[in-house]
Chains A and B, each alone.
Chain A
Amino acid sequence: MSAGEKYVAAAYVVVLVAVLAYVAIIAAKLARFERELAELTELARSSRPDEAQPRRTLSVG
């Protein structure tokens, strides 16, 4: 590989690495959102115990 080819490869690799790093950061963020959402769902369930229980059917009349 000539020196010119190495520089060309380096320029394209830099952009590719930056895009991949960005995608990895977005993936990590999504995973954090998923965890937080699960925590908040749990928190919402525990703060409303009546809603968490299955409803009983009562006979009327």
Chain B
Amino acid sequence: MLLGGGVALAFLWAPEDGDQGISQRIFYIHVPVALTAYACFGWGAWKALRHLWTREERYDLESYTAIHQGTIFGLLTLVTGSIWARASWGVWWTWGERQLVLFLILFLFYSAYFMLRYSVDEGPGRANLSAVYALFGVALIPVSFLAIRLAEGFIHPTVFTRDGPQMTGTMFTAFLVCLAGVLALAAALYTNELTGKRLDGRLRELRELLS
């Protein structure tokens, strides 16, 4: 509902951008999805750290679920960003943009997490290895996030600068509602997936006990 409200505000209340026109409205879904992907990866790294600290099995599952969510949102970021690039710049992808390339590297890094995880037998060893990998990945987040500010000749727009958001108040409000909506959606999906995985584990345990 929050996300639906945010999208309604983005289309009905926020004014059309004078420079980019209608295609700027992709911003209201693309940027919240990208920030949510960062949040999921960050949450996964935090849970990985908790796992390494306490060696509790549940943190491994929580870290894995958060990274899974982050990868889904990361893929959506790449797809929506690509559509926006095509609409605004006339190309689906450009290798000259550090922001895009770094986000792709981040996405591929976390995609490789699953290959690593499923190439090792289940147990404490796999949990520790996954946790260390998740922690390494989190270092890429600030680099990816700040890349746009470090870049010299870029065409990717910089909306959030030291002077504040470079948009009108209504645009910023619509953006914040969309961001809250996407974060709430991610939290709901995370809780559902985690509950499902725990239930799956319990059912497997029960089956072993009964057979």
**Residues in A lying within 8 Å of B, measured CB to CB:** 2-5, 7-8, 10-12, 14-15, 18-19, 22, 26, 29-30, 33, 36-37, 40, 43-44, 47
For the complex, is B35 an interface residue (Cβ under 8 Å from A)? no
Q: Is the interface of B mostly helix, strand, loop or mixed?
A: helix
What residues make up the interface of B, taking CB atoms closer than 8 Å to A? 7, 21-23, 25-26, 29-30, 33, 72, 75-76, 79-80, 83-84, 86-87, 185, 189, 192-193, 196, 199-200, 203, 206-207, 210-211
Q: Pull 9 A–B residue pairs with CB atoms less than 8 Å apart, ordered by A.
A: A4-B87, A7-B87, A8-B25, A12-B7, A14-B76, A18-B75, A33-B196, A40-B206, A43-B211
B72-A18 in contact (CB<8A): yes
| A18/B210 in contact, CB under 8 A | no
Interface centre among A5, A8, A12 (most CB of B within 10 A): A8
Q: Which single residue of chain A is at the shortest CB-CB distance from B81?
A: A11
> Which B residues are CB-close (under 8 A) to A3?
87
Given contacts A11-B30, A14-B79, 16 further A-B contacts (CB under 8 A): A3-B87, A4-B21, A4-B87, A7-B87, A8-B25, A11-B79, A14-B83, A15-B80, A22-B189, A26-B192, A26-B196, A30-B196, A36-B207, A40-B203, A43-B207, A43-B210
